[in-house]
Chain A
């Protein structure tokens, strides 16, 4: 379990990283926290000629705020978010989700951008950021674009990223003061990837009502209008009118027909909604 021989560069700016990634003569991989890529290198599932380490690029560790959103640099770590080194625009949601990722050692290095780019369906950011309508800021040969998280991931370990596209930041919408959110995941043990997860954002002031079923063998299942899930009710008691069949139907439509899998994801979603009500 040792990687193949590869070259290593640590550029200081985005342009440098993109120039290296644009090289046609070699297979290039970006390296962020290395928490997913490291094992893949060791197992020789990834065999790049050149690793481009992104962690020397100051811009990827910056945070920018506007009235309606927060932009988090791609190389911000889970621990940065957990510890509150990033302003809170989500009524505590991001810090709470970050806190639940893996173990502290992984959170110290793993990054929000790397997590999305890796596109493991069982990962936390993939599910939660899709639920809150976050966007992925991408820079590449085609310039700069912003893709909604729910469209960013196209399948298991698959994204819209072209080989030399770089995720530079994640755009997080600012929640209203009375927004309610919930995130529930079922893991066999502490720090393990989830086998069922769900997230919900109920933000009536902004007319946002979204839910996501995650940890399925595909991109997250997004209910962009989740009203039906709580019988079109709003407010603090939406859990009381939770309709599990809506979740099961969504799974069915997405091709997940196993009744036990449907049930456990519906349970996850119900608990996410209950959490949202309890907040």
Chain B
């Protein structure tokens, strides 16, 4: 292994600018004459807008739907039968359907002045009853979010199985019902958009903090009825995405329209209140799940009824179907059982649309199935680890199709679980539990295990008929005249470290010095089309494309090199950046010089594409990569205050071949921190009228440095049989495992007094209520 090739923990190239404060984000762009935008957003969850009163003096500065003739709403349709469509207007037309929905935009020289204007505009809302709870939304007579639908269900997914037989005979039946909180993704940088219309070129530039620039380009083109080629989207440095920026935002379309309308460069920077209340919601699920097992704790069947509160509109391009669909398809996970019934519904409500957050649906379903494993453990009196070992797919069964026909391609799940459990020393926790704690706290250990199907490709995503289906991922690789390497990709790195890992991949193939490889991204003007960075696809797809293009460059360079060495092209090799023949060698730098500057020395049959290649990549089997992990936690629960402390935390992950283990560990730790947030802290509560109640970070609680323990990461390595280098997607898993592992640990701690908790987050109040229920003073 080269010290900077695939497998090396090279320090990240991008950190040089980030650590020196030299990153450049949307808010750092200044264009002369630029105006600031403040949105007027609906203060009520469900209403008909009667009139918008704009004082005479402000008429030139306020824009509402009435001005935006011809602008199309965002329609994130799917081809799934029965899917009910929503059309989200860029600015509200007749109705508003959630608090925070955009009603008008105000333009001024500063944001403060724009907010003054917003405050001077009066909107008459005639309030309608709001649909706030997803279960109530399905009751007969519930108010309707979209009148024409007749009910509040975007779509329902069903997997059927003859459960009744098992139900009659199974020795063990366990049922759990719980909710995961609606919460908010919170990248450090919120959204932001700068839009600029160039009258001379008839050219629109949209600078946006996005994970998927070409999807934004396509979406803006669609809404404004413009050609793609007249729109340039730039995504500069992005301070975290997590899915929050993996979509077409109304604000992007609104500002694109506004700059064309006014001819002025315009900017909107999301503030924290907009971020929390109007935009970033995710993850709200309800489960009622039953597991049937035999007397040995062997799982026989699972029966689940799940709802996802999808909010008011379907988001582009993932659609409101995604999360509910994945609940049904991913719930069985790595467990080997054959009778599975599940119904999952995407329910519309008068809340902001839920967005796909790191580990879409997996976090909830992992908690659901693992709760069943724990419940079976308690019924049988066996260790929760042991119950899982009895039910996991075994290594010798690989490749394995689970009950949902997910093609598990390899690995040893039981071993992964054993290693995670050993890392926290479950036996030592048991001994400690018998001794009791001097401070009266209750100790518990918990585990979870799951797989992360990443980089799902055309074969998986096309059946949904979403607006944008991922296909071949392209990269452009160019050997420059001085022998350096320039790589351009359409994926976007906003924390994943692609500027480093993609360079490692190219270095591995071509041997160009790591320091002389530059990865460029984030501009539709020079980057090949991509569906962007999401779904743990960056290194699998973008990296695969870089490898493919680099290999083609290698072939072309070898031809030229062989000519210069007067050797047979079949006899030369490429090593350490040199084409090596039987007699002597020539550097890529010399070869580049010949192509660009002294072409008189080129072979007569040279490939006229030269030393620049744009190549597409898709694994032959694009069902996705199957990385997996087991999380293990030790917690202490304070029965007096209801506070939970994580005493120890370990993750054992099989991410296949790791391009940069340090970057992978960072991904796992960051994701785990978010999963801890999901489990213990984060919640966006709503009142009965649909008002979001956590509008600042005083009320919306995120884990901080003090709440995230030292997360120990262990690795296993089962290369993917399908991808370049055997890499697998690992971007999301960190955020999937923690709630299941921590809930398991907390319930293990509460076990001695017979209490149990399930609803997320595990607030002190919920712990204390559970204790009070079993009569603990």
> Which A residues are within 8 Å of any B CB, using their own CB?
1-5, 39, 43-44, 186, 188-193, 195-196, 259-260, 263-264, 267-268, 270-271
Contact = CB atoms under 8 A, between A and B. Distances in A.
B640 A43 contact: no
25 contacts: A2-B110, A2-B112, A4-B112, A5-B112, A5-B116, A39-B696, A39-B698, A43-B696, A186-B643, A188-B643, A188-B764, A189-B681, A189-B704, A189-B707, A191-B704, A192-B701, A260-B768, A260-B769, A263-B772, A263-B777, A264-B641, A264-B764, A267-B640, A267-B641, A271-B640
Contacts of B119: 44
A191 B707 CA distance: 11
A196 B641 CA distance: 8
A197 to B, nearest CB: 11
B16 interface: no
B751 interface: no
Interface in B224-254: none
Contact of A1 (B110, B273, B768): B273
B701 A195 contact: no
B480 interface: no
Interface string B111-140: 110011001000000000000000000000
A44 B772 CA distance: 41
Given A189-B681, A259-B772, A271-B640, A2 B115 contact: yes
Nearest to A267: B640
B431 interface: no
The listed residue with most A CB atoms (<10 A of its CB), out of B119, B273, B641, is B641
Contacts of A1: 115, 271-273
Contacts of A189: 681, 701, 703-704, 706-707
Contacts of B704: 189-191
Interface in B639-662: 640-643
B437 interface: no
A186 B764 contact: yes
A193 B697 CA distance: 12
Contacts of A195: 764
Nearest to B702: A189
B769 A268 contact: no
Given A191-B704, A195-B764, 15 more contacts: A5-B112, A43-B273, A188-B643, A188-B681, A188-B701, A188-B764, A189-B704, A260-B765, A260-B769, A260-B772, A263-B640, A263-B768, A264-B640, A264-B641, A270-B640
A203 B56 CA distance: 68
Given A43-B273, A186-B643, A3 B764 contact: no
Contacts of B391: none
Contacts of B707: 189-190
Nearest to B270: A1
B9 interface: no
Contacts of A268: 641
Contacts of A259: 772
Contacts, number: 61
A246 B769 CA distance: 22
A95 B772 CA distance: 36
Nearest to B273: A1
Interface of B: 110-112, 115-116, 119, 271-273, 640-643, 681, 696, 698, 701, 703-704, 706-707, 763-765, 768-769, 772, 777
B40 to A, nearest CB: 14
Contacts of A2: 110-112, 115
A3 B764 CA distance: 35
Contacts of B643: 186, 188
Contacts of B701: 188-189, 192
Contacts of A186: 641, 643, 764
A232 to B, nearest CB: 23
Contacts of B115: 1-2, 44
**5 closest A-B pairs (Cβ-Cβ)?**
A2-B112, A267-B640, A190-B706, A1-B271, A186-B641
Contacts of A260: 765, 768-769, 772
A190 B119 CA distance: 36
Nearest to A185: B641
A264 B642 CA distance: 8
B286 to A, nearest CB: 24
Contacts of B768: 260, 263-264
A188 B763 contact: yes
Contacts of A190: 704, 706-707
A267 B704 CA distance: 25
A2 B114 CA distance: 9
B183 to A, nearest CB: 15
Contacts of B112: 2-5
By CB atoms of chain B within 10 A, which of A44, A189, A259, A271 has the most? A189
A53 to B, nearest CB: 19
A43 B115 CA distance: 11
Q: Which of A2, A5, A44, A186 has most chain B Cβ within 10 Å? A: A2
Contacts of B272: 1
A2 B108 CA distance: 13
A133 B703 CA distance: 36
Contacts of A43: 273, 696
Nearest to B115: A2
Contacts of A264: 640-642, 764, 768
